[in-house]
């Protein structure tokens, strides 16, 4: 597969494409791990439809990871959290 990338895209194209695919795979696995947590922060997570959707459609858990990061950033910046000293 890398040889095909190299033949079609050249060295740097194959390197960049391989790196991007690797990062997307890592984000997909991280999203699956986060969605399948039974409880996170006291609230239940990962209904059956979410888990099935995450396995079938790899874009869903990647979007879910960014959605969660945005909401955690918003929560940490707010004055309502107990984590601020």
Q: What is the pLDDT of residue 49?
A: 86
Q: Which domain holds residue 69?
A: 24-85
**CA distance readout (Å), 10 to 6, 16, 22, 24, 57:** 5, 10, 18, 21, 30
Alpha carbon distance 63, 57 (integer Å): 11
pLDDT at 6 over 90: no
| Count of structural domains within the chain | 1
Model confidence pLDDT, tens digit, residues 28-41? 999 998 888 876 66
* Contacting residues for 25 by C-beta, under 8 A, at least 6 apart: none
Please, are residues 17 and 9 in contact by the beta-carbon 8 Å criterion? Answer: yes
Q: Is 4 within the bounds of a domain? A: no
pLDDT confidence of residue 78:
81
Q: Would you tell me how many other CB atoms lie within 10 Å of the CB of residue 65?
A: 19
Residue 37 lies in a domain: yes
| pLDDT for 43 beyond 70 | no
Residue 82 lies in a domain: yes
CA pair distance 2, 6, nearest whole angstrom: 6
- Asked whether residue 18 is domain-assigned, the answer is no
In a domain, 11, yes or no: no
pLDDT digits (tens, 9 = 90+) for 63-74: 999 999 998 888
Is it the case that residue 1 has pLDDT exceeding 80? no
């Amino acid at each position: 597969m890398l040889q095909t990338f190299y033949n079609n895209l050249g060295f740097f194209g194959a390197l960049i494409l391989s790196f991007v695919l690797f990062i997307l795979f890592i984000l997909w696995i991280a999203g699956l791990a986060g969605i399948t947590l039974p409880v996170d922060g006291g609230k239940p997570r990962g209904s059956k439809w979410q888990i099935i959707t995450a396995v079938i459609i790899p874009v869903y858990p990647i979007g879910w990871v960014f959605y969660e990061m945005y909401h955690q950033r918003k929560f940490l910046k707010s004055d309502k959290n107990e984590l601020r000293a």
